[in-house]
């Protein structure tokens, strides 16, 4: 179960390991993000899917899974296949230990305490849990934005309809930038919750979540961050953001499908109502009463996705071993290459921030009048390049922000993409644009 720790020390970084502790600190502070490097070719060896020789540029939808994660899940099925938190026998105890180790690793990834980490299926479930679990009523206000994925949008539309709370949607300019003054206007003392994504899954733009959280808290509102596109790609720190909830999905961060996490600030664990109750959530039951457990367990009814959670824990360890700063730096370099290349292709409209430094590795675009589905299929058929096309489960962005009625093609990069992937993608796109658009 060895992991290719695919970091490559550069001159600065090598020095870091040989100097004394006092100097380490100042040298560390003097390093820029760009100084940290991944050995992408070593990383690629961990991903069996890449042996097909095709180019995967759809990690925003779901990521590939490395061997250490696959092996960890197999280890559960082969060696301690038992339920968690129930059995007294050895296999069940090992399964429970591994499950809780996964909770620790996932918590460490976002600087949360394990007690604050609710293990669920995905981002959507986390957001639904919050929307149904906080007490909303007529006279309250929910604030969200046009940049949200449907999982952080229609959930609030429904919560507003059911409770009578008003829903205010903050808009963005054509590149996806939002104005803090608009949040200051939208959020007032009646605001119960502000829900915003840390990275847009269509435009790659990164809203100023820390500043938004500060405005919300000044008015006593709760803050939910949709971390689906930030947790896998950057160093996310729930304490530094100052959020109350943060939802994310294991399958977008090298983990399996079917496991995700919801960070819930410790003080809220008592107050928020669970979405489901049942086995695993109770402290005591009588014929005319039940008493729920305290903490995260209160929200985890029934047998969880054991292998998947254990796999998600292994994925969190894998990413942390590579280093979140290294991952961010690698993606930033690819981003510069992609943006520069896309800008040179005739007839191509790239959406989102023009400046590469202001975006994550997500690129939505259209070429001439080509339908996004036709373009995506041509990329696959002619060069084995896999990209997503359509509305990306974010119709408010498509309709209100970029106004692209057929949607867009979306390419996205991750730890296993190299320069060659990008160059093949760009060359194929160029050819398509010249011959088909």
Ligand X SMILES: Cc1ncc(COP(=O)(O)O)c(C=O)c1O
Interface positions with ligand X (CB under 6 A)? 122-124, 149, 151-152, 197, 201, 226, 228-229, 249
Q: Which two tokens stand for residue 393?
A: 């489960």
Minimum Å gap between C-beta 138 and ligand X is 28
Minimum Å gap between C-beta 147 and ligand X is 9
Minimum Å gap between C-beta 230 and ligand X is 9
Minimum Å gap between C-beta 197 and ligand X is 5
60 or 329, CB closer to ligand X?
60
CA distance 273 to 284: 17
6 or 253, CB closer to ligand X?
253
Minimum Å gap between C-beta 253 and ligand X is 10
36 or 351, CB closer to ligand X?
351
**228: Cα separation from own chain's centroid:** 2
Minimum Å gap between C-beta 306 and ligand X is 19
How far lies 4's CA from each of 68, 122, 327, 418, in Å? 9, 27, 14, 17
99 or 248, CB closer to ligand X?
248
CA distance 72 to 117: 21
φ, ψ at 224 (rounded to 5°): -110, 130
124 or 366, CB closer to ligand X?
124
Minimum Å gap between C-beta 151 and ligand X is 4
The answer to whether residues 119 and 144 touch, using CB atoms and an 8 Å cutoff, is no
Q: Which two tokens stand for residue 203?
A: 């435009």
The answer to whether residues 118 and 264 touch, using CB atoms and an 8 Å cutoff, is yes
CA distance 317 to 340: 33
Q: Which residues of 261-298 are buried (b: 16+ CB within 10 A; e: fewer)?
A: bbbbbeeebeebebbebeebbeeeeeeeeeebbebbbb
Q: Which two tokens stand for residue 345?
A: 């292709």
209 or 426, CB closer to ligand X?
209
The answer to whether residues 308 and 256 touch, using CB atoms and an 8 Å cutoff, is yes
Minimum Å gap between C-beta 61 and ligand X is 6
Minimum Å gap between C-beta 155 and ligand X is 10
Could you say which of 25, 254, 276, 393 is catalytic? Answer: 393
Beta bridge partners of 390: 408
CA distance 169 to 136: 17
Instruction: Judge whether 243 counts as a catalytic residue.
Output: no
203 or 370, CB closer to ligand X?
203
CA distance 160 to 356: 36
Q: Which two tokens stand for residue 151?
A: 């999982």
CA distance 224 to 262: 10
136 or 202, CB closer to ligand X?
202
141 or 206, CB closer to ligand X?
206
Active site amino acids: 393
């Amino acid at each position: 179960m060895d992991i290719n720790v695919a970091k490559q020390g550069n001159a600065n970084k090598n020095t870091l390991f040989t100097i004394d502790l006092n100097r380490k600190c100042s040298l560390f502070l003097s390093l820029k993000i760009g100084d940290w490097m991944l050995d992408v070719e070593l990383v690629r060896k961990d991903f069996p899917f890449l042996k097909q020789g095709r180019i995967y540029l759809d990690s925003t939808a779901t990521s590939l899974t490395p061997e250490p994660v696959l092996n960890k899940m197999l280890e559960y099925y082969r060696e301690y296949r038992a339920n968690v938190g129930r059995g007294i026998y050895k296999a069940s105890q090992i399964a429970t230990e591994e499950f809780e180790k996964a909770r620790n690793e996932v918590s460490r990834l976002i600087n949360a305490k394990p007690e604050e980490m609710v293990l669920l299926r995905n981002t959507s479930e986390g957001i639904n849990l919050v929307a149904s679990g906080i007490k909303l009523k007529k006279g309250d206000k929910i604030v969200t934005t046009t940049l949200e994925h449907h999982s952080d949008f229609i959930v609030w539309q429904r919560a507003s309809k059911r409770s009578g709370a008003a829903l205010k949607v903050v808009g963005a300019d054509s590149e996806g930038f939002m104005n803090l003054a608009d949040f200051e206007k939208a959020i007032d003392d009646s605001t119960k919750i502000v829900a915003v994504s840390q990275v847009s899954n269509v435009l790659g733009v990164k809203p100023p979540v820390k500043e938004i959280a500060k405005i919300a808290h000044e008015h006593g509102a709760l803050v939910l961050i949709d971390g689906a596109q930030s947790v896998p790609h950057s160093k996310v720190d729930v304490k530094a953001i100052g959020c109350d909830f943060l939802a994310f999905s294991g399958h977008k961060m090298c983990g399996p499908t079917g496991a995700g996490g919801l960070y819930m600030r410790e003080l809220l664990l008592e107050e928020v109502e669970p979405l489901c109750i049942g086995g695993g959530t109770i402290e005591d039951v009588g014929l005319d009463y039940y008493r729920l457990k305290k903490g995260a367990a209160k929200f985890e009814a029934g047998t969880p996705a054991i292998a998947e959670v254990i796999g998600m824990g292994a994925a969190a360890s894998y990413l942390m071993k590579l280093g979140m700063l290294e991952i961010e730096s690698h993606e930033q370099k690819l981003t510069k290459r992609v943006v520069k290349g896309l800008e040179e292709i005739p007839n191509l409209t790239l959406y989102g921030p023009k400046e590469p430094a202001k975006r994550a590795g997500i690129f939505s675009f259209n070429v001439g009048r080509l339908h996004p589905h036709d373009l995506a299929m041509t990329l696959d058929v002619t060069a084995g390049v896999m990209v997503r096309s359509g509305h990306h489960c974010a119709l408010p962005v498509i309709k209100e922000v970029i106004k692209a009625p057929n949607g867009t093609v979306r390419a996205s990069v991750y730890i296993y993409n190299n320069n060659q992937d990008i160059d093949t993608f760009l060359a194929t796109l160029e050819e398509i644009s010249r011959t088909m658009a």
